[in-house]
Amino acid sequence: MGLLTTHVLNTATGRPAKGVNIELYVLTNNSRQLICSRITNHDGRCDQPLLLAHEMRVGMYELDFVLSDYFSDSDTYSDNPSFLSTITIRFGISGITENYHIPLLVSPYGYSTYRGS
């Protein structure tokens, strides 16, 4: 049974990123359809998966990590507007029985991601 999950870590502070708004979209015919929106908890994770097993479908998706409010609320970061406002990660789901975990490692001036387990 597959799931889609994510988490956000602030590599500048070495701490989970609490309060990041995340939006999941499915891509169809060159348009985006919002599936769900979540906010990261104290551990930088969502309280619920982005997709549950019965919701998994083969296709292309985008995750928007809205970071502007997260960085503007930070005591250690003062740029306004923030350099990274929203990070969009486009990815494909090809196996609906597999788990897809997409972590975001972020700092005020850069980010990286990978497919986790």
User: Do 22 and 51 contact (CB within 8 A), yes or no?
Assistant: no
Look at residue 68 in the predicted model and tell me its pLDDT: 86
Residue with tokens 């870590």: 9
Task: Taking residues 69-74, report their average pLDDT.
Answer: 79
pLDDT in tens, 36-71: 999 999 999 999 999 999 999 999 999 999 998 888
pTM of the model: 0.91
Residue with tokens 């908890």: 41
Look at residue 99 in the predicted model and tell me its pLDDT: 95
Q: How confident is the model at residue 83 (pLDDT cuts 50, 70, 90)?
A: confident
Q: Which residue segment(s) compose the domain that 82 sits in? A: 4-113
Choose between 86 and 71: higher pLDDT. 86
Number of structural domains the chain divides into = 1
Query: Is pLDDT at 80 greater than 80 in this prediction?
Result: no
Distance of CA 93 to the CA centre of its chain: 15
Q: What is the CATH number of the domain that holds 32?
A: 2.60.40.180
CA distance linking residue 116 with residue 49, whole number of Å? 14
